[in-house]
Structure 1
């Protein structure tokens, strides 16, 4: 067994909503058949809430937008897949020096770091994920804020900021920055605000601006009531000091030595719900403060890899200064390991594991 002095230092990143898609159907069944007790614990909670089991959802013959994308199902599914991946990381080779996550991935990061135990994690994730089961509050849309080399585009940034100012001055419009996501900006708003964005933003690659299906207006003032409800339902006693440092959506660090659990509860159910989530900053602070040798993104899916690479390019981590550096560097030495990719997954696991 390696000593910690010879282990590779790893930053672990948990994904958010939108990463369990048609290609990920069967992820738990295929890769985590050994996590029977863990999955059963989640499903016992969900049965009590009158919800469909994640084991059943994951084992379905066909992927269903109606069943797999609503928050009350997607959140628990993604948590189960990501946490199960986290359990499989080879601790003999890797020392996990910090954990962060994107959006809902913050809740998963809390679980990975031990700030939420299994009961607390499914309680927080399932409760917050089910807040809009009676109807979505607003929506989200994503738009590139970078050029083809994955460098920031001041022109696009200025255009997005101008759009937000116009929305603020337009009666009936609500539109906010929701997430800084590497080279992308995620916007949150009501229908009028999102329609204004679709009218004003030039089309790119016949893809953007792109609405995010079944996503509410996360990380915006439109979720003030969701924040209040979350605080009323989820006790402060769920939250503990982490075993591993956590980096949140402001770039603030929570350690095992200095965490005030009441403030962690307040941030998680307050600021994190109603204010912008700066994932780019979280990644950049994490690598600068904890100097990992590699970065691992938990599965399911591969949708977060580009945003993480763009964030790393933004601070020249691993010597990457543009998209080409990342693409070519990965062929020589896979510094960014996506556990949701079949080709990269074995790099994180003990030899002989799935």
Structure 2
């Protein structure tokens, strides 16, 4: 069975999609449609902008969504048996399998990114990747801290991202180093994504989601919140809203996809970060 994966923030680069624009008539039309719907030249930012501008949450999320969905729609024989997307990538996956239109997805991503950017500027949070410790150890350290700090991305065995208030993040990182974390990498983001700090974003995003038409999915999407296959539109909508404050259960999603028959994985988007995680997850499952 064929599984397709869609990446989230972090895979972007200047020039992404430019060759696709030049070589595919359908891709060119969709890139131009993106600019029309958004009301500004997102394609110029993607093709010729600076990396500093592209790192802005608003532009990062839009660029990855646009590139990933257009890539899927221009692929020959894109007929997935199942899909999954990492964080933002979940919206790319949903547009690729026509749960909502490409244009409606642009509106969702644009609004999601804008309100996330706003909360990041008002409440300074951070994220860090912890390597070399079991999930339950990291979970307990976070739980025992008096600040807001939680596991936010279960990426692969012994690689877990934590997210929360800056001071809480510093304390927990220090504690984790003391008990044997092999490596801790503080991410270059200014927000505590997938944590309770995103609660105000969740309420605003819910209103936007309610205005978009969703249809049932023709193939299962393994959503971040539950790591389980979902096809009903109402469940999909609830989960993409919950996702903002819930952890990304990526490792669990991939294991469930494997257990349910996934025999090949294809990453649709810039880079191959997710395929790298697949190898680690696969080794731990064998």
Q: Report the TM-score, using the length of structure 1 for normalisation.
A: 0.72
Question: Could you list the runs of 5+ residues in structure 2 that have no partner in the other structure?
Answer: none
Correspondence 1:302-321 to 2 at 5 A = 302-316=272-286
State the partner residue of 1:75: 61
The alpha-carbon distance between structure 1 residues 12 and 192, as it changes in their structure 2 partners (threshold 3 A), is same
Superposed displacement of residue 87, structure 1: 2.2
Contact kept? 1:174, 1:192, Cα under 8 Å: no
Structure 1: distance between partners of 2:56 and 2:119: 10
Picking from 155, 162, 178, the partner of 2:152 is: 178
Picking from 171, 195, 202, the partner of 1:220 is: 195
Superposed displacement of residue 179, structure 1: 1.0
Contact kept? 2:21, 2:31, Cα under 8 Å: no
Larger radius of gyration: 1
Correspondence 1:80-99 to 2 at 5 A = 80-91=66-77, 95-99=79-83
Structure 2: distance between partners of 1:175 and 1:44: 40
Picking from 118, 132, 139, the partner of 1:161 is: 139
Structure 2: distance between partners of 1:162 and 1:243: 39
The alpha-carbon distance between structure 1 residues 242 and 53, as it changes in their structure 2 partners (threshold 3 A), is same
Structure 2: distance between partners of 1:123 and 1:202: 41
The alpha-carbon distance between structure 1 residues 132 and 292, as it changes in their structure 2 partners (threshold 3 A), is closer
Count the aligned residue pairs.
277
Structure 1: distance between partners of 2:270 and 2:258: 22
Higher helix share: 2
The alpha-carbon distance between structure 1 residues 218 and 27, as it changes in their structure 2 partners (threshold 3 A), is same
The alpha-carbon distance between structure 1 residues 292 and 198, as it changes in their structure 2 partners (threshold 3 A), is closer
Superposed displacement of residue 30, structure 1: 2.1
| Structure 1 residues 226-270: Cα deviation after superposition (integer angstroms, max 9, x where no partner) | 000111233254221112221111122123xxx1x233212211x
Superposition RMSD in Å? 2.3
Asked if 1:28 corresponds to 2:28, the answer is no
SS of equivalent to 2:118: coil
The alpha-carbon distance between structure 1 residues 211 and 53, as it changes in their structure 2 partners (threshold 3 A), is farther
Superposed displacement of residue 296, structure 1: 0.4
The alpha-carbon distance between structure 1 residues 96 and 164, as it changes in their structure 2 partners (threshold 3 A), is same
| Structure 1 residues 73-128: Cα deviation after superposition (integer angstroms, max 9, x where no partner) | 0011001111122123331xx64111101111111111122111112211111111
Asked if 1:293 corresponds to 2:271, the answer is no
Structure 2: distance between partners of 1:218 and 1:313: 28
Structure 2: distance between partners of 1:158 and 1:130: 34
Correspondence 1:134-149 to 2 at 5 A = 134=118, 136=120, 137=123, 138-145=125-132
Asked if 1:267 corresponds to 2:236, the answer is no
Contact kept? 2:223, 2:239, Cα under 8 Å: no
Picking from 218, 223, 229, the partner of 1:253 is: 229
| Structure 1 residues 202-242: Cα deviation after superposition (integer angstroms, max 9, x where no partner) | 29xx9942222225222211111100011123325422111
Correspondence 1:44-83 to 2 at 5 A = 44-47=36-39, 52-60=40-48, 63-65=50-52, 67-83=53-69
Correspondence 1:312-351 to 2 at 5 A = 312-316=282-286
Structure 1: distance between partners of 2:117 and 2:212: 26
Structure 2: distance between partners of 1:113 and 1:95: 9
Q: Report the TM-score, using the length of structure 2 for normalisation.
A: 0.88
Contact kept? 2:14, 2:46, Cα under 8 Å: yes
Structure 2: distance between partners of 1:208 and 1:96: 36
Structure 2: distance between partners of 1:235 and 1:226: 14
The alpha-carbon distance between structure 1 residues 190 and 46, as it changes in their structure 2 partners (threshold 3 A), is same
